[in-house]
Amino acid sequence: MLVCALLTGMRRGELHALRWENVDIERRLIYILQSKSGKPRELPMGRKLVETLASLGVKKEGPVFGVPEITLRVHFKHAMIAAEIRDFRFHDLRHTFASHFIMRTGDLPSLQKLLGHSSPEMTQRYAHLAKGHLSAKIDAFDSAMPVELGRDGHYMDTTP
């Protein structure tokens, strides 16, 4: 469940409700028929998630995970304690997915669709950038700009 949450941004309730009938391993799609917004959506699966789900033993029907809510809560809490992670909830995995997706793709409209949000503003609340991410982006931008400081202390355009 944790891997699926990290690789899709699915909500805990969506993970609990996920059934094999709504997973298409061949097409690499997850169909979420009942979401928080009430709108169905399709989630493409990357190789890692396909392999993870396949390792569970793909079935024609039934729950994908079959983990009771209380079991998930207890094991998640114990994992956070063992990893010495504080103030982290299961829902924060959704934010983690969003942050990593946006840092690697920069594609806010796609992220909005994947998360099932109706507005870009809501999606932006989820996409927290890692420290240093914007600095790396500005460095890449800066190195591509054809502007140099001349010997006289004035900037000049160095476009060939």
Instruction: Choose, from 31, 60, 89, 117, the residue flagged as catalytic.
Output: 117
Please say if 31 is a catalytic residue.
Answer: no
Single out the catalytic residue among 27, 36, 75, 77: 36
From 126, 128, 133, 154, active-site residue: 126
- 23-24, strands of its sheet edge to edge: 23-24, 29-32, 41-44
Q: Reply yes or no on whether 36 is catalytic.
A: yes
Q: Is the dihedral of CA 41, 47, 53, 54 positive or negative?
A: positive
Q: Is 19 a catalytic residue?
A: no
Residue by residue, DSSP assigns 15-79 as HHH-BGGGEETTTTEEEESS-TTS--EEEE--HHHHHHHHHT---SSSBSS---HHHHHHHHHHH
Asked if 95 is an active-site residue, the reply is no
Are residues 9 and 94 in contact, defined by beta-carbon separation less than 8 angstroms? Answer: yes
Q: Is 158 helix (H, G, I), strand (E, B) or coil?
A: coil
Q: Which position among 59, 77, 78, 91 bears the catalytic label? A: 91
Q: For residues 21 and 146, what is the distance between their CA atoms, to the nearest angstrom?
A: 55
Q: Catalytic residue at 75?
A: no
Would you name the residues annotated as active-site residues? Answer: 11, 36, 91, 94, 117, 126
